[in-house]
Amino acid sequence: MKCPLCSSSSNHFYTHKQREFYFCTTCFSVFLDDKNYLSEPEEKKHYEFHNNDVNDKGYQQFASPIVKIVLNDFTPKHSGLDFGAGTNSVIVKLLKDKKYNIVEYDPFFSNHPEVLEKQYDYITCCEVIEHFHHPFEEFKKLFNLLKPGGKLICMTDFFSETQNFDTWYYKNDHSHVFFYHPKTMEWITKNIGFSSYTIEGRVTVFVK
């Protein structure tokens, strides 16, 4: 099976209720066989069940690591994009409350391709990159949407060699198709063209 990020040959890793997962020894990712992907209507229906109440304090707390980075590194004069915003973006709500200049894009719920024709000082992706069917193309797109020196701020749960995949909750979401190891972020930095990256907890910041 060819890795959808780095195109290397990958090995069968795990089977869970007929869902086949593969491990890539080049970029250290784990990914789902595309035969197990949800259809577009199934995927949209799945997202519609997400509880995205932007006024919910728990939801705000969940997204706070990304929001804090933006507030620390950028001002309202900078331009931002929340990519994969979902049905309601708590990141957009919290930043607009602070008068920040941020727009949202989502292929299902905010499909406004004109926002993808501009460049931004920062891009946020909260629980988005694990849904990428074509991660190499998506990261290249995000790289091109950034201004020089701009930052791509991504939150996801990392796979590790010590992770008990059998009990790992993250794989059980049928819309999660691609899982990242910290070494995957290093591969992305080198091969997409970012100048650097940092990881803190579940958040990776790529710098163009």
Q: pLDDT at residue 2 above 80?
A: yes
HSE value, Cβ hemisphere, 13 Å, CA-based, for 91: 32
Per-residue pLDDT, 17: 87
Whole-angstrom Cα distance, residue 145 to residue 120?
6
Distance, in Å, from the CA atom of 138 to the CA atom of 61, rounded to the nearest integer, reads: 27
pLDDT digit string, tens, across residues 163-180: 899 999 999 999 999 999
- Length of the chain equals 208
Confidence of residue 162 (pLDDT cuts 50, 70, 90): confident
- State residue 48's pLDDT score: 85
Rounded to an integer, the average pLDDT of 183-203 is 98
* Backbone dihedral region for residue 57 (phi beyond 0: left; psi -120 to 50: alpha; all else: beta): alpha
CB 138 within 8 A of CB 199: no
Residue 51: predicted pLDDT: 63
Range scoring the smallest mean pLDDT among 48-57, 62-71, 93-102, 184-193: 48-57
Q: What pLDDT sits at residue 176?
A: 97
Q: Given a cut of 70, is residue 129 above it in pLDDT?
A: yes
Confidence bin at 148 (pLDDT 50/70/90): very high
Residue 157 CA to residue 160 CA, distance in Å, equals: 10
Least confident of 4-8, 47-51, 116-120, 146-150: 47-51
Burial class (CB in 10 A: 0-12, 13-18, 19+), 111: exposed
Q: What is the pTM of this model?
A: 0.96
Once rounded to an integer, what is the mean pLDDT over residues 52-63? 85
